[in-house]
Amino acid sequence: MTGTLTIVGVGPGRPELITPAASRVIAAATDLIGYGPYLDRVATSSPGQVRHASDNRVELDRARHALTLASEGRQVAVVSGGDPGVFAMAAAVFEAVETGPMAWRELDIRVEPGVTAMLAAAAEVGAPLGGDFCAISLSDNLKSWTTIRRRLEAAATADFVIALYNPLSKARPHQLGQAFELLRQLKPPSTVVVMVRAAGSGDVRRIITTLAEVNPDDADMRTLVMIGATATRLIAREGRAPWVYTLRREVEGGA
Amino acid sequence: MTGTLTIVGVGPGRPELITPAASRVIAAATDLIGYGPYLDRVATSSPGQVRHASDNRVELDRARHALTLASEGRQVAVVSGGDPGVFAMAAAVFEAVETGPMAWRELDIRVEPGVTAMLAAAAEVGAPLGGDFCAISLSDNLKSWTTIRRRLEAAATADFVIALYNPLSKARPHQLGQAFELLRQLKPPSTVVVMVRAAGSGDVRRIITTLAEVNPDDADMRTLVMIGATATRLIAREGRAPWVYTLRREVEGGA
């Protein structure tokens, strides 16, 4: 039997947000490869199915391991959180293919999309991504802080809603604070900021605040941060958190 | 019984990409409201379930209709393509709430996320959204072309991967061509451009080309267009279309 490799997104956390397509691929796989907590979200389909759990680093090594198994004829599912194409495993697999043996290019490699964290986070508070938006990873493991700054500046001056992935970690505790400082120079203090922890997991925590008042210490690696555009608004509600949404049309005085 | 309103994303097309959470909400609804082709994707759960099909305009009217039904005690599902929060129905519903009767703010309104078109389109060709990216709707029904130009310029100069939604329509056939012209002044001719029609539908068509050679006439309203960043690459394959992916790290000579 010819080997296959599918990079599968299992969404933000709740099993109900895993697509039937992703579940089908996982059930049919002979080998599951992924970061331990993602593998824990999916059931083993058969006694013969092998689970290769890893930590969340060395993505390229994990990708090469998966490609090696597929080239040996296994049906491999690389299990990724959220959507595999957004700050997740798919790009690592294709990088491994490009830099690996030519035979790997003959493999049947597919990507099964999923619900990425910013969509789940947005749904938890309303519709903050209702206008044009951008997604930026604050991790500087693979790119410079200069590049991150340049993208934040561009996004702020062109009035995109900004979704920040990987806002901080133990190794880089100060970047989210630095990002807020930069954005405060470019956007009004009243700009809406939303932090959603563990969106789509059933154990969600939401903070709805402003750029003037946001505290970066309220975020951790499981937090998705969104900074509103000029057209991002709050709808006040009696005794409950406001809804947040971005008007589809422009507003006067937009940056 | 208290009324509820849930804006539900049914993904890009294939029923296998509808999340179980979305299917559950649709099955439990007394009333389904949405653009006809989206309603056609979901089965009727009971003889008593009412389907309110509409055309794809007058989103605010549709939102007010849904809110009125919910305020009368119905369990309403507003059925949206892709993810409801991305260029779809959720923002229209919250705009209707903000401008409507105060009683609507007491309603139980939720959003069920889905797989948005750019994730499905990216998965069809590899991992082009593997780095920082932005999503821009080219529709100027609700915002000016000046704003769209400004966002395209910012996205190009800061080297985001760019996903274009609503690339053109009968009423505005020239905007995608104008967008490519603008981007040609700011990005290298060899920049990777991908057009995916009907991504995630089982009837997909893919075009992988360059900014120099792309023909806007190859796109229609069902096409998602992606313009690569400096780090977006092709992996050539014998007798098959190349894979497209964006390196997670920066490359020398980046804009």
Closest residue in chain A to residue B239, using alpha carbons only: A106
pLDDT at A1: 58
Do B174 and B225 belong together in one domain? yes
Do A179 and A88 belong together in one domain? no
Do A22 and A130 belong together in one domain? no
The residue-averaged pLDDT of A69-86 equals 97
Q: Answer yes or no: do B160 and A111 touch at CB < 8 A.
A: no
Domain boundary among B115, B136, B155: B115
- Name the 3-class secondary structure at A51: strand
The residue-averaged pLDDT of A140-154 equals 92
B253 occurs within a structural domain = no
Residues of B within 8 A of A86 (CB-CB) are 119, 129
B231-254 burial by CB neighbour count: b if 16+ within 10 A, else e?
A: bbbbbeeeeeeebbbbbbebeeee
- Domain count along chain B: 2
Tell me which residue in B11, B86, B133 faces A134 most closely, judged by beta carbons. Answer: B133
Burial, B24: exposed, middle or buried (Cβ in 10 Å; 0-12, 13-18, 19+)?
A: middle
A213 occurs within a structural domain = yes
Identify the residue among B166, B248, B249 best suited for mutation to test binding to A, counting A beta carbons within 10 A and taking the highest.
B248
- A85-113 confidence digits (pLDDT tens): 999 999 999 999 999 999 999 999 999 99
pLDDT at A255: 41
Do A122 and A101 belong together in one domain? no
B252 occurs within a structural domain = no
Confidence band (pLDDT; 50, 70, 90) for A201? confident
CATH assignment at residue A41 = 3.40.1010.10
ipTM of the complex: 0.96
CATH assignment at residue A194 = 3.30.950.10
Do B38 and B83 belong together in one domain? yes
Confidence band (pLDDT; 50, 70, 90) for A250? confident
- Name the 3-class secondary structure at B204: coil
Do A92 and A131 belong together in one domain? no
| B107 contacts chain A (CB < 8 A) | no
Nearest CA among A84, A92, A77 for reference residue A11: A84
- Long-range CB pairs of A143-151 (<8 Å, 24+ gap) are A143/B131, A143/B248, A143/B249, A143/B250, A144/B250, A145/A175, A145/A178, A147/B159, A147/B250, A147/B254, A148/A175, A148/A179, A149/A182, A150/B158, A150/B159, A151/B132, A151/B158, A151/B159, A151/B160
Written as tens digits, the pLDDT of chain B (255 aa) is 589 999 999 999 999 999 999 999 999 999 999 998 888 888 877 788 999 988 766 889 999 999 999 999 999 999 999 999 999 999 999 999 999 999 999 999 999 999 999 999 999 999 999 999 999 999 878 889 999 999 999 999 999 999 999 998 888 889 999 999 999 999 999 999 999 999 988 789 999 999 999 999 999 999 999 999 999 999 999 999 999 999 988 775 544
Confidence band (pLDDT; 50, 70, 90) for A173? confident
Identify the residue among B83, B192, B208, B224 best suited for mutation to test binding to A, counting A beta carbons within 10 A and taking the highest.
B83
Contacts of A97 (CB under 8 A, 6+ apart): A67, A104, A105, A107, A109, B235, B243
pLDDT at B201: 84
Residues of B within 8 A of A20 (CB-CB) are 15-18, 20
pLDDT at A169: 82
A252 occurs within a structural domain = no
Q: Smallest CA–CA separation between B137 and chain A, in Å?
A: 7
| A45 contacts chain B (CB < 8 A) | no
Q: Answer yes or no: do B113 and A130 touch at CB < 8 A.
A: no
Q: What range defines the domain where residue B51 resides? A: 4-115
Closest residue in chain B to residue A138, using alpha carbons only: B132
A175 occurs within a structural domain = yes
Do A127 and A239 belong together in one domain? yes
The residue-averaged pLDDT of A156-185 equals 94
Confidence band (pLDDT; 50, 70, 90) for A194? very high
Tell me which residue in B17, B147, B238 faces A21 most closely, judged by beta carbons. Answer: B17
Do B19 and B74 belong together in one domain? yes
Do B18 and B75 belong together in one domain? yes
Dist CA A107 CA A101 (whole Å): 11
Q: Answer yes or no: do B16 and A17 touch at CB < 8 A.
A: no
Do B140 and B239 belong together in one domain? yes
The one-character DSSP state at A131 is S
Residues of A within 8 A of B143 (CB-CB) are 131, 248-250
pLDDT at B254: 45
Contact call for residues B227 and B255 (beta carbons, < 8 A): no
A251 occurs within a structural domain = no
| B94 contacts chain A (CB < 8 A) | yes
Identify the residue among A129, A149, A226 best suited for mutation to test binding to B, counting B beta carbons within 10 A and taking the highest.
A129
- A20-70 confidence digits (pLDDT tens): 999 999 999 999 999 988 888 888 777 889 999 887 668 899 999 999 999
Dist CA A2 CA A73 (whole Å): 5
Do B126 and B219 belong together in one domain? yes
Do B111 and B137 belong together in one domain? no
| B82 contacts chain A (CB < 8 A) | no
Tell me which residue in A128, A134, A143 faces B160 most closely, judged by beta carbons. Answer: A134
Q: Answer yes or no: do B250 and A147 touch at CB < 8 A.
A: yes
Domain boundary among A115, A138, A159: A115
A253 occurs within a structural domain = no
B254 occurs within a structural domain = no
A5: enclosing H helix or E strand: strand A4-9
Q: What backbone phi and psi angles, to 5 degrees, belong to B63? A: -65, -45
Identify the residue among B80, B95, B136 best suited for mutation to test binding to A, counting A beta carbons within 10 A and taking the highest.
B95
Domain boundary among B62, B97, B115: B115
Dist CA B108 CA A136 (whole Å): 32
pLDDT at B172: 83
Tell me which residue in A98, A133, A154 faces B157 most closely, judged by beta carbons. Answer: A154
Confidence band (pLDDT; 50, 70, 90) for A247? very high
